[in-house]
Amino acid sequence: MTNDRGKAALERLRKIKPFIQASLSLTKKRCGNPRCRCAQKGLLHEVALLTWKEDNRTHTLYVPMELRQEVERWVQEGKLLKRLVAEVSQAQREFLTSKKRSRKSKNV
């Protein structure tokens, strides 16, 4: 039981791809090797980090460069999922509100 708004959101939910609820950020770091170009010439390494909150703590996970774009897609899909969950919840509230209204009008 839902309305058109809920049906549209559920339809999109069925096509959801792998997702992750976290954010991806790029930063530059020294690797720690004193003979590396990062220490000698100041050419820092680009590092991709995934961060998320769990039990009120921020967690971080290193993302290999070759997986950067793939993980970015998971993050985008995670945001879409969050919007769709809110969308279906809103649709169900509207559905209940419309039932209440139509019942009232029938009783009058």
Q: Which residues bind Zn ion (CB under 5 A)?
A: 31, 36, 38
- Report the residue number, 3 or 40, with the smaller CB distance to Zn ion: 40
Tell me the closest approach of the beta carbon of residue 41 to Zn ion, in angstroms.
Answer: 10
Q: How far apart are CA 85 and CA 82, in angstroms?
A: 5
Nearest CA to 2 out of 106, 79, 67, 87 is that of 87
State in angstroms the smallest separation of the CB of 6 from Zn ion: 52
Give the containing element (helix H, strand E) for 54. strand 45-54
Q: What 3-state class would DSSP assign to 10?
A: helix
Kindly tell me which of 38 and 49 has the beta carbon lying closer to Zn ion: 38
- Beta-carbon count within 10 A of 85 CB: 12
Q: Give least dist CB 62 to Zn ion, A.
A: 14
The sheet that has 45-54: what strands, in order across it?
23-29, 45-54, 57-63
- Pick between residue 20 and residue 49 the one whose CB is nearest to Zn ion: 49
> CB of 48: closest distance to Zn ion in angstroms?
16
Nearer to Zn ion, 31 or 86 (CB): 31
